[in-house]
Structure 1
Amino acid sequence: MSARKRTAILISGRGSNMSALIEAARSPDYPADIVLVLSNRAEAQGLAYARERGIATAVIDHKIYAGREEFEKSMQVLLDLHHIEIICLAGFLRVLTPAFVQHWEGRLLNIHPSLLPAYRGLDTHARALADGVKIHGCTVHFVAPALDEGPIIAQAAVAVLDDDTPDTLAARVLTQEHVIFPAALAAVAGGHLQIKDNRVVFDHAKPEPPALRVPADGMLDP
């Protein structure tokens, strides 16, 4: 297979989606290699998990910078140092500038706990329950300058139960996040898709590695 894409994961906390990506990338036929975990918080729990698995880690504290642009310049220096080709945002609690997003266009992925374009922003599970929806879920998308926008790579649907609380619904959605994020990264790193206008189109004529099984419509059901 061709060289694995050097991938960085950006986190701010425990990094449960980071863990799912790292475990998927341990497979020798997975097309992405997780080579760096970067956090804006020294206390982020996910850093220890990454270090224990031999992955380089770094902390760039956003609070010591005068603004987002200066913070991102330091991040970019580190990303360049590690020859990063793809970035995954896995609970990275910083809003990125349009300049940074545009520099990484088509190579910057995010996971969001709703079926976008529904429920952008925070408190997605509580808002879904308040609206009485019957289907909820999660989305992996390419990052665009606007909040929680960008071409959708994959989604997973979760049925909303009558006795659900935000916590119980969040737990079931999180299980699906751990499925679709590694699948989406594999699709991007393996060159299995194209962006046409604001849509992601999968090239299923190209042989897929065993680690990748994304349906033609990009929708993964539990």
Structure 2
Amino acid sequence: MDEIIPAFETTLFDPAFTDACLEIAEAGVDSVVDNPLINSIPFASVLLGVGKTVKNFHDRNLLKQTAQFINAFNCGNISEQKLKKHREKINKNPKKAEEELGRVLILLDRNIELKKSKILGHFYHSYVNENINWDQFCELSDVNEKLFISDIQLLRQISNKEITQTNQCKMYRVERLNAVGLINTATSSITISDRGGATNKMIEVSELGSLFCQYGIN
């Protein structure tokens, strides 16, 4: 971690590397292998070793996930003052830098879906921009890791009130969103017939779900 954290910090916050990260984020995994931009990016150089190429799938995936995260982080506006303030804070406190950026790298390393790295980048953007605090970032990033990508559209529909009851969607997806704390449910009606009973529930996004939608997927 001694070298990789500072290299990641430089790559993340220095606008000189934004375009290179964007190009890698948009390239196919196979394209990353021979991309000449790789060795110009501090994080990639430290991860792979100067002058080396990306040979294994694990390193290729981590580079793609990291580039996607950085690309998402740079989408939207952060005031120069807040960006400078945050960078100075972690530069002055190596333990804080390792806590923050080390956590991000561990999460990126475990990601398979690029969408999750993009969402994580949006959350970190919101954290640096002081829209959410560190505890909220940690909570949201934990939920993001557990979330099924296929459930994001349903979460969006619930947030937009396009879906308000469980009889409008698949119940198992509702249960998954409820399990990670993104929605609340309440019994709306119970139907009893010769074939058995059925319970319909009202659904709405939770406070955590609202934060997730506002800062992660909207």
**TM-score, length-normalised on structure 2?**
0.27
Asked which structure has the greater CA Rg, the reply is 2
Structure with more relative contact order (C-alpha pairs < 8 Å, separation 6 or more): 1
Q: Larger helix proportion, structure 1 or 2?
A: 2
**TM-score, length-normalised on structure 1?**
0.27
